[in-house]
Structure formats: structure tokens, C-alpha cells
Amino acid sequence: ILIILGAISLSLRLYFFPENLPLVGDASGYFWYANDISILGYFPEGHSSAFVGSTPPNNAWPGFLSLFFSLSDSNNFLDYVNIQRLLTITISTITIVPLYFLSKKFMSGSFAIISATAFTFAPRLIENSILGLTEPLFLLLGVTSLCLFLSDKKYLVILSFGIVALFSMVRYEGLLILIPFSIIFFLRFQKNKKTILKYFLAIGIFLLIILPMVAIRMDTTGQDGLTSHIIHGPTYYASMMEDNKNENMLLEFSKKGISYLFKYLAFVTVPMFIIFIPYGIFELLKNRDFKKWTVILVGLVFLIPAFYAYSRGFQDTRYLFILYPIMCLMVGYTIKRFSEKTRKPNLLFYFCLVAIISVSISFSSFTINDFDEEKEMYEISKDIHKLAETINDKYSGSMYLKWSGSTIVNVFPILHSDLDDKNIKKVKNVGIRDKNFEDIETYLVHGKSLGLTHLVLDGNNMGTEIFQEVFFNEDRYPFLEKIYDSSELGMKKHVKIFEINYQKLKIILE
């Protein structure tokens, strides 16, 4: 049953797979770092480009990814993008295995399968798995370390600290799991010399694995990527309070952190977990043994980095994904309780599997981005490269302009540092963020001083009213010559490109 569920889960992810669509955000940074590692054969020092502002602090994921890049001999960068996405999809799918064995430590096999099903079909994890980010590997290692730590075999408990090292190398907050592991280790085993020696052996394995990566990070970035980032939190709070002495910044941070934490905790429980959490919490708190205490402490510890991120205004559900394994246990506990009240437990078991999969498919179809539109935006970005020199900001497809230049398309693999400036379309910021313009004319006068040559409008442009006015009433503006309209090419994404005739604009203004 587990194999069948895994196959269905993988098929669902592949159904939503955005083939041949460039990466955006953090995923593009990991892509270029992995690309450089695969070409050079080592972790390069410094890493900044039009794609990447700085070297990713967590370089275990791009390092792992580079191994797969080095196996490809393709000259098409999109093939490498597909490899990155396929890898995260695969990792996310196989996490069902350690999650099942983790659940079996708390409940019988059938309910463990339900818990594992709730995890692998969680809509937000499905969506995240196709983005090429770190979370799938982070969750796989986190669940595996927790499963091994709760084992009855002491050598597996010790080995779990080695997995924690890998876990921490993927995302630095993974280091926090050492706190509950260390506490439970001494509470679980008798406090004697043997226990202390075994603990130091476990920590020795942890250090043996993680220190080489720490050394690499110190050489390439000047920071260890672990304690440096954990210490950065209190330092940031202190500096903000120092800079804003007249305001109660600690109260502001607390308000923001708590409000966003509860907000996004609610988000991640919908639609799969919300009805299971009340009884699940009750079951976790009842008859607590070392296993339940471990899960409780791990959950509480990982609320700390989530609170820190939310207190700084970062709004993303990804900070709470590490809580999904615990929520899945709550699902299993609740279904187990229902099963004890019914005369047909087998029927309930299959009904739950079908219900979880059906809800997942329905919710995922509703929430996952329309990648067809994203692909059209990428195709449009290629046309923008051909037609325009300098364009306005506030264009929703600007992230794909970085991937549309001739260098990436024609000369790949290539180091990020070898990309010439012409490859990246420069999106000029002509002051919309800093100034309020009453009309498009005054905007263009300001834009001319910054070298603005074209307007790229999509009907919204992130709520910019003067752009919307031009888009829907283009005939009113004779100084704007429309040279491109994506609707004429049969695309659903409607984008227009206007070339600015400053001579006509000058005549009209005079």
C-alpha cells in the first residue's frame, strides 16, 4: 500500500511539474551555485550576480545538486532546471518511507500509513516540491534523524546525530534539534559514564560530518553558516532597538512574530490537518513517554526560528513545514480513535486514504500556480529582449528577463561570473517606489533622465494605476507606439510593449 501511495503521490507531483520553466527566487540562487560547483569541482569563493545577491548560506543543497548536474552533458540550461525540480520531487516523495517508520513508533501499521499519506499528499508540500528549494531534503533528513533517534537500538540513536549534521547543513536552524535530542538522550538513558561516553560519541560523529562543511563555508563566505546565523538573530534585535530608542521595538517584534505565527500556523493546517489537531494534541499530551516528549520538544524548538522570521516581517509558510511530521501523527491518532468507535475499521481505513488523496488533488488544483501562464511570461521575456532596451519596473514577469538573454541560451554551461551584462535585461527603477506621479507624462519625463526606452504593461503592473490607464486606453497616448501585443500571438497572458517617442511627448507637453 505504501508503494502504491508513493507512486500516486509522485504522479501527482509530475502532473503539476512545470517542465522547461526557469527557476525564480531562492531556487535560482541554488541553481547557479550548484552549476558553478559542477563546473569548477569545488565551492567557489564569493557568489553574486544579477541572479544571486550572495552565496547561499546553506550550501549542502547546492553541493548535493551539483553532483547530478555534473552527470549531465546537456548544453540547454533548462535541462538542468528540470533536474533540480525532479530531484526535489523525488526527495519529497520518498520521505513517505521514514515518515511511515516514524509513525509506527507511535501507532500500528495501518494508522502509520494514514499518517504517511497525510504527509506525502499535503498540498503545500506538493507545491513546494516542484520549486527546486531546500525544504524537501530538509524534511527528509529531519524525519530520518527523528526516526533513528527514537529507535530501540542505541547505535541507531547515535547515528541519528550524524543525520542531524546533514540536516543542519541544509538549513542552519536544523542545528536547534540538538537541544531536544540532548535533553531526551540523558532522560532516556541512565546517567552514568557509559551514557556520557555514548553521548560524546554521538556528538563526535556530528562534528566529524559537519566541521568540514563549516571549514568550507569559512573559506568561501567568511561565516560558518550555523552559529553565525543563529547569533545574528539577537544581534539584529539589539541593533534595531538601538536605532529606534524612542519606540518599543521589542513589543513590536513580539506582536508581529506572534500574529504572523498564529496566522501561518492556521494556513498550514488547511485543509488537511485542522480537524485532526485538537484530539491529536490531547493524545500527544496524554501518557507522555520519551517518544512523545521528543516530538513535543522538537515542535517547540522549531517554533523559535519561525517566530524570528515572522517578527522580522518575513511572510512564508515554509518556516513551519518542519511541523508537518508532528501534524501527521495527530492525523493518525485521531483516525485511530475513530476506528475504535466503529465496527468496520477496514472500511474507515480505505475511506480515509481516498478522502486524503481527493482533498489533496482538489486543493492542489486550486492553489498551485498556473504554470502555463508562467511559461508564456518566459516566452514574452524573450521577445522583450529582442525589442526593448530599457523597460519600466513593476512588471510581473521581470524575474524571467534574467533567463532570456542570448548568452544563457547559446553558451551553457557557463559560470555565473562569465555572464556578460547584456545577457540580463536591466529593469530600470524610474522612481515609482519613491515618487507619486499623477499621470504617465510626468512619469516618462522622469524616466527619460534614467534612459527609459520602453513600457512593458500587463494590465495590472502590481497595482500601478497610471500603467493600467495606458494599457486599457492606449489610443489616448500618441507618444506611445505599440510594437508588441501577446494576445495577437494567441497567448492568454496579455502583455503590451510600447516604444516611447519622446519627441512627440515633448511637443504635446509644450
The CA distance from 232 to 240, in Å, is 12
Residue pLDDT, tens place only, 103-133: 999 999 999 999 999 999 999 999 999 999 9
Question: Using 50, 70 and 90 to split pLDDT, how confident is the model at 427?
Answer: low
- Write the DSSP symbol of residue 43: P
What's residue 433's pLDDT? 58
Considering the chain, what is the average pLDDT of its residues? Answer: 91
Residue pLDDT, tens place only, 278-305: 999 999 999 999 999 999 999 999 999 9
Alpha-carbon distances of 38 from 167, 354, 382, 472, rounded to whole Å: 22, 43, 27, 47
Q: Tell me how far the alpha carbon of residue 510 is from its chain's centroid.
A: 51
The CA distance from 71 to 195, in Å, is 44
Edge-to-edge order in the sheet of strand 496-500: 454-457, 496-500, 480-485
Give the closest residue to 320 by CA, choosing from 333, 331, 310: 310
Which of residues 253 and 402 earns the better pLDDT score?
253
DSSP 386-439: HH-SSB-S--TTGGGGGG-SHHHHHS-S--GGG--GGGS--B---STTT---SS
Question: Using 50, 70 and 90 to split pLDDT, how confident is the model at 44?
Answer: confident
Q: What's the average model confidence in pLDDT over 408-434?
A: 69
Q: What's the average model confidence in pLDDT over 307-318?
A: 94
Query: Which range is least confidently modeled, 46-50, 74-78, 159-163, 468-472?
Result: 46-50
Using the structure block, give the residue that is written with the C-alpha cell 541572479: 51
Q: What's the average model confidence in pLDDT over 405-427?
A: 73
Using the structure block, give the residue that is written with the C-alpha cell 537541544: 179
Tell whether the model's pLDDT for residue 430 goes beyond 70. Answer: no
Using the structure block, give the residue that is written with the C-alpha cell 518542519: 322
Q: Please, which contacts does 349-357 make with residues 24 or more away whose CB atoms are closer than 8 Å?
A: 349/110, 349/113, 349/114, 352/114, 352/117, 353/1, 353/5, 353/113, 353/114, 353/117, 356/114, 356/117, 356/118, 356/121, 356/272, 357/8, 357/117, 357/121
Question: Using 50, 70 and 90 to split pLDDT, how confident is the model at 190?
Answer: confident
* Cβ 302 vs Cβ 175: under 8 Å: no
Tell me how crowded residue 99 is: count the other CB atoms within 10 A of its CB. 28
Q: What's the average model confidence in pLDDT over 377-405?
A: 90
Q: What's the average model confidence in pLDDT over 341-369?
A: 94
Question: Using 50, 70 and 90 to split pLDDT, how confident is the model at 51?
Answer: low
Question: Using 50, 70 and 90 to split pLDDT, how confident is the model at 245?
Answer: confident
What's residue 505's pLDDT? 94
457: amino acid identity, one letter: L
User: Phi and psi at residue 63, in whole multiples of 5°?
Assistant: -65, -45
Q: What's the average model confidence in pLDDT over 395-409?
A: 84
What's residue 48's pLDDT? 56
- Write the DSSP symbol of residue 445: H
**∠ CA 122-57-77, rounded to 5°:** 70
Q: What's the average model confidence in pLDDT over 165-180?
A: 96
Alpha-carbon distances of 180 from 127, 183, 309, 337, 360, rounded to whole Å: 30, 5, 21, 28, 32
What's residue 247's pLDDT? 79
365: amino acid identity, one letter: S
Give the closest residue to 152 by CA, choosing from 110, 105, 97: 105
End-to-end CA distance of the chain: 77
Percent residues over pLDDT 90 in the chain: 75
Tell whether the model's pLDDT for residue 424 goes beyond 80. Answer: no
What's residue 34's pLDDT? 94
Query: Which range is least confidently modeled, 29-43, 174-188, 236-250, 458-472?
Result: 236-250
Question: Using 50, 70 and 90 to split pLDDT, how confident is the model at 449?
Answer: confident
Cis peptide before 413 (omega within 30 of 0): yes
Give the closest residue to 132 by CA, choosing from 75, 74, 90: 90
* Cβ 334 vs Cβ 280: under 8 Å: yes
344: amino acid identity, one letter: K
Largest CA distance in the chain: 90
What's residue 54's pLDDT? 60
What's residue 45's pLDDT? 80
Pairing of strands 454-457, 496-500: antiparallel
Tell whether the model's pLDDT for residue 420 goes beyond 70. Answer: no
Tell whether the model's pLDDT for residue 47 goes beyond 80. Answer: no
Whole-model pTM: value is 0.94
